[in-house]
A = this chain, B = another copy of it.
Amino acid sequence: MSETVNFIVKDKSFEKFAMMAILGSTGDAMDMKMNFFFTFWGLNLLTKKFRPKVAGMPTPMKGMGAKIFRKRMKKFGIEDPMQLIKDGVENGNLKLYPCQMTMDLMGIKKEELLDWVEEPVGAASFLEMSDGGRIVSL
């Protein structure tokens, strides 16, 4: 594939997390270059202890829903979605960028983020890095 795919991840649901993990690990397997830009609630997915919940379910089931999905994904060989992404980062195919302005607006500090993500960037850097490539807002 000739073009990078540049994803904007803007919410923190389990669904978004799973899509990110599946598209990312598939892209990695196909040796595609993918950038993920985490903004607004999406930034939560990059924090160390965050556990995403299923958005598209009634409130009392949102947490349970995520557990059920994780369990079912295991059956399809996906033990830990975040580990798949980390592998893609280590293979040099995926890059995960925290949005600097979101960190400022929400008061999230760099040490709260996973150690293996890139340095925070602003919207200008995101637009620059995605020039000539595709932009997909998940």
Flag if A137 contacts B137 (CB, 8 Å). Answer: yes
A26 to B129, CA, bound (A): 13
A120 within 8 A of B: no
Residues of B within 8 A of A10 (CB): 15, 19, 138
Residues of A in contact, count (CB < 8 Å): 41
Residues of A1-31 contacting chain B, CB below 8 A = 1-3, 5, 8, 10-12, 15, 18-19, 22-23, 26-27, 29-30
Chain A interface (Cβ within 8 Å of chain B)?
1-3, 5, 8, 10-12, 15, 18-19, 22-23, 26-27, 29-30, 32, 39-41, 56, 69, 72-73, 76, 101, 104-105, 122-124, 127-128, 131-132, 134-138
